[in-house]
Amino acid sequence: MKIGFDNDKYLKMQSEHIRERINQFGNKLYMEFGGKLFDDYHASRVLPGFAPDSKLRMLMQLSDQAEIVIVISAGDIEKNKVRGDLGITYATDVLRLIDVFKDRGLYVGSVAITQYSGQRAADAFKQRLNDLGIKVYTLYNIEGYPSNIPLIVSDEGYGKNEYIETTRPLVVITAPGPGSGKMAACLSQLYHEHKRGIPAGYAKFETFPIWNIPLKHPVNLAYEAATADLNDVNMIDPFHLEAYGKTTVNYNRDVEIFPVLNEIFTQIYGESPYKSPTDMGVNMAGNCIIDDEACQEASRQEIIRRYYNAMAARKTGRSSESEVFKLELLMKQAGVTVHDRKVVDAALSYAEETGGPAAALELDNGKMILGKTSDLLGALSAVLLNSLKELAGIDRHYHVISPAAIEPIQLLKTEYLGSYNPRLHTDEVLIALSTTAASDKAALKALEQLSKLSGCQAHTSVMLSEVDIKIFKRLGIQLTMEPRYENDHIYH
């Protein structure tokens, strides 16, 4: 994979810029962190060279100044809202985040439950956190938010919220997901700090869209593709253009809410410190792109992958037709079709040739590996084994998994677990390969190639089981699939 982003430069420049912003506001800054603090795989895909944990590593450089407050909406606790990527509730993810931050040496000061209006589940979660020795604060639902500014900026609005006690210059406000109330928590704190005579400021750290590259740059289009389900739209920041005569990129929600924020700032400070939504941001990612074409191509591929993911989700009823239409439009704007993803045509051609489900995987050196469905293996399992053999320099006809390792697994599936499908899934193939590796040097050599698959592209001619999808994701393989089932059953 061609590197297009200087991660070391980013870590240095980003931490320095945040320090400057802290100093700008009298040594107290509330910073809203959008997106993921770690495991930011979208950023690593569209900015090759960006480490998935870059933002977390950047914060670690500020660990002596930073304090983390995790916010969660009472409504999300009540609804048991689930993170789609992890399959756990937002409430459970709060506990996970606390552990991850603490393990990295970062200080988690407290948890804030936002938009509270008496939800019993929120009360129970607060008690659970208290029992664990974690400080919890409550921020209430404000009627007419965010338009009723006189009420919001008053003792009956922000003033009614509990004041979150913090001890460090940089207070990072983060959350399990969007809509948790991060910005409201920041502004509530500004109100309370002002009443106490403490100068404090607000900033927003959002990686995308990148404000200082063109509006229709593929990296920014890929962000629209990633948020197609939210209907976010990138746009020129009109406030920045009017104030400075310079074109910058922001997104619709920040532009739409800025007049309200500006008035809230004015009510709190007497005047607003910002003239545009772009002014509020601290993101330096655009300054660290070192190969623009590499980032453009990576982003175009990401848009195609997002399109395929939406098509598969549409097939299972998890996305809307409008989301698919939006992604089709973004593909046109980026100047790509599905045929620009090499593994697509390779998988479909092999499926037509073999008369059954097939898969294709492109190795880092550009070589295309194919796999077909057989009595023993599914297409994805076959392409996985074939890829490992290719990387290990093993003849493709050599069986790196012995029948003695496969047969017990098939017996377990069909005779004891009631499965009608004796073919091995990818997780079962890896277990069988590991078992064989104990006595077969070739199998061991194949197993040792697994890490080389990270970043490879793959496509299948049919939709896959969740097991196979998750295994390829854990291996770092970027997988897409045709939105069609292997058979015509209506239950899958």
Query: In the chain, what are the domains?
Result: 7-205 (3.10.630.10), 341-481 (3.40.140.40)
Which residue from 472, 477, 459, 370 is spatially nearest to 429, judged by alpha carbons?
472
Place 489 in a pLDDT band, splitting at 50, 70 and 90. Answer: low
Taking only the tens place, the pLDDT of each residue in 381-396 is 999 999 999 999 999 8
pLDDT in tens, 455-466: 999 999 999 988
pLDDT > 70? residue 41: yes
pLDDT at 1: 72
Strand partners, 89: 82
Per the model's pLDDT, the better-predicted residue between 55 and 369 turns out to be 369
Per-residue pLDDT tens over the stretch 276-297: 999 999 999 999 999 999 999 9
Percent of the chain with pLDDT over 70: 99
Nearest to 185 by CA among 169, 204, 206: 204
Distance, in Å, from the CA atom of 103 to the CA atom of 100, rounded to the nearest integer, reads 5
Confidence check: pLDDT of 84 > 80: no
Query: Two tokens at 435?
Result: 């078992």
- Residue 100 CA to residue 8 CA, distance in Å, equals 22
Percent residues over pLDDT 90 in the chain: 77
Query: pLDDT value at position 37?
Result: 81
Instruction: List, for residues 110-129, the tens digit of each pLDDT value.
Output: 999 999 999 999 999 999 99
Q: Cα separation of 271 and 1, whole Å?
A: 48
Which tokens is 299 given?
């982003």
Closest CA relative to residue 315, chosen from 462, 470, 474 = 462
Q: Are 313 and 22 in contact (CB under 8 A)?
A: no
- pLDDT for residue 11: 95
CA 129 to chain centre: 26
Assess whether pLDDT exceeds 90 at residue 38: no
373 closest CA partner among 442, 436, 425, 411? 425
pLDDT at 232 over 90: no
The predicted model gives 249-259 an average pLDDT of 91
Tell me the sheet residues that pair with 66. Answer: 170
The pLDDT tens digits of the residues spanning 121-156 come to 999 999 999 999 999 999 999 998 888 899 999 999
pLDDT at 318 (0 to 100):
83
With CA atoms as reference, report the closest residue to 249 among 232, 229, 266: 232
- Per residue in 395-417, pLDDT (tens digit) is 988 999 877 778 888 888 888 88
- Residue 79 has which token pair? 């609804």
Q: Are 377 and 360 in contact (CB under 8 A)?
A: no
In the prediction, which pLDDT does 420 show?
73
319 pLDDT exceeds 90?
no
The pLDDT, as a whole number, for residue 408 is 83
Give the model's pLDDT for residue 491: 59
With helix as H, strand as E and coil as C, how does the chain read? CCCCECHHHHHHHHHHHHHHHHHHCCCCEEEEECCCCCCCHHHHHHCCCCCCCHHHHHHHCCCCCEEEEEEEEHHHHHCCCECCCCCCEHHHHHHHHHHHHHHCCCCEEEEEEEEECCCHHHHHHHHHHHHCCCCEEEEECCCCCCCCHHHHCCCCCHHHCCCCCCCCCEEEEECCCCCCCHHHHHHHHHHHHHHCCCCCEEEEECCCCCCCCCCCCHHHHHHHHHCHHHCCCEEECHHHHHHHCCCCEEEHHHHHHHHHHHHHHHHHHCCCCCCCHHHHECCCHHHHECCHHHHHHHHHHHHHHHHHHHHHHHHCCCCCHHHHHHHHHHHHHHCCCHHHCHHHHHHHHHHHHHCCCEEEEECCCCCEEEEECCCCECHHHHHHHHHHHHHHCCCCCCCCCCHHHHHHHHHHHHHHCCCCCCCECHHHHHHHHHHHHCCCHHHHHHHCCHHHHCCCEEEECCCCCHHHHHHHHHCCCEEEECCCCCCCCCCC
Is residue 492 scored above 90 in pLDDT?
A: no
